[in-house]
């Protein structure tokens, strides 16, 4: 068996853990950069016997779930107003999807009634199925790299079976644009336009496996998004990020990747707070490394991801 022979299929469920949704290789295949499967995630139950001799007590198996971590390129569908191929997975990570035909597709966080999904993760002959899937997502957009999303997905467990690798269709996964000056705008950060070489956003969704007798499911119970930036130091006369941090100030942060219709991805946060900036060096240029935290204004609006 080969570790580089893997495939991933994903589809949205009509109802939570409906038991009937089956992703299709022709339409639901995911073009991944990495697939990491944890077949039996969860804890065992300690039995803790007291005996007149030393040694381990046996354990009893607890409720388990299957977890998959997948990394995909942050691309677009190529057509404004058509959902990107990773949109289905983002929806099961606590995001809504609003499509304006021929204009744009907007993803925003929700705090209830999250979509759920099904994944089929093939590991060269071993098929791991997850149903009732929820997860969380993290975005990385670094200079001279490909922009990526890393999904951590948890699903209700099914028996592992032996299945042949599917013949997948991956044509819906267009090549993402590399992160560089040709394709990417400088950051709009608290009213200043600043060059950058690192950007990350981790939604840090709280995804829990509820282990109640008679109620076994995977739920999203919260989120605490945060991220890191490394920007060119504009100087305090242009923008004093030290003062903003010290005064607990907030401001907007927007990243725009892609410059032509159908290839634009915008990650926008209307209100972020920052931690104490620190200095770093990039080829002799003074940089600022800054941790930030998006905050909601009216609720479920701290982050939007738009393809257009």
| Tens digits of residue pLDDT in 220-261 | 999 999 999 999 999 999 999 999 999 999 999 999 999 999
**pTM, 2 dp:** 0.94
Task: Give the number of C-alpha atoms closer than 13 A to the C-alpha of residue 42, restricted to the C-beta side.
Answer: 21
pLDDT category, 211, cuts 50, 70, 90?
confident
Average pLDDT value for residue range 42-65:
91
> Which residues have a Cβ under 8 Å from the Cβ of 201 and sit 6 or more positions away?
138, 139, 225, 226, 227, 267, 294, 303
**Cβ contact 209:63 at 8 Å:** yes
**pLDDT recorded at residue 3:** 80
Which residue from 267, 306, 308 is spatially nearest to 106, judged by alpha carbons?
Answer: 306
User: Which pLDDT belongs to residue 18?
Assistant: 94
Q: For residue range 133-144, what is the model confidence (pLDDT) as tens digits?
A: 999 999 999 999
Element spanning 90, H or E: helix 87-91
Q: In this predicted structure, what is the pLDDT of residue 213?
A: 81
């Amino acid at each position: 068996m080969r570790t580089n022979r893997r495939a991933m299929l994903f589809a949205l469920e009509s109802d939570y853990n409906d038991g009937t949704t089956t992703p299709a290789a022709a339409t639901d295949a995911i073009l991944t950069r990495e697939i990491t499967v944890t077949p039996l995630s969860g804890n065992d139950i300690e039995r803790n016997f007291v005996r007149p001799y030393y040694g381990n007590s046996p354990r009893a198996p607890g409720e388990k779930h299957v977890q998959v971590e997948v990394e995909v390129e942050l691309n677009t569908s190529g057509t404004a107003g058509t959902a990107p191929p990773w949109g289905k997975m983002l929806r099961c990570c606590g995001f809504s999807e609003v499509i304006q035909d021929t204009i744009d597709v907007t993803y925003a966080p929700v705090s209830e009634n999250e979509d759920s999904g099904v994944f089929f993760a093939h590991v060269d002959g071993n098929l791991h199925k997850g149903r009732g899937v929820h997860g969380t997502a993290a975005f990385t957009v670094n200079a001279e790299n490909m922009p990526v999303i890393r999904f951590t997905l948890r699903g209700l467990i099914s028996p592992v079976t032996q299945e042949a690798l599917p013949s997948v269709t991956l044509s819906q996964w267009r090549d993402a644009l590399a992160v560089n000056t040709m394709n990417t705008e400088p950051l709009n950060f608290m009213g200043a336009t600043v060059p950058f070489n690192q950007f990350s956003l981790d939604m840090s969704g709280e995804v829990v496996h509820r282990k109640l007798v008679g109620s076994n499911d995977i739920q999203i119970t919260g989120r605490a998004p945060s991220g890191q930036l490394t920007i060119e130091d504009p100087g305090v006369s242009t923008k004093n990020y030290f003062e903003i941090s010290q005064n607990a100030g907030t401001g907007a942060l927007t990243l725009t990747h892609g410059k032509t219709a159908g290839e634009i991805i915008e990650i926008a946060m209307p209100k972020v707070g920052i931690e104490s900036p620190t200095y770093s060096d990039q080829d002799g240029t003074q940089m600022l490394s800054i941790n930030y935290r998006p905050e909601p204004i009216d609720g479920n609006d701290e982050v939007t991801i738009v393809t257009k």
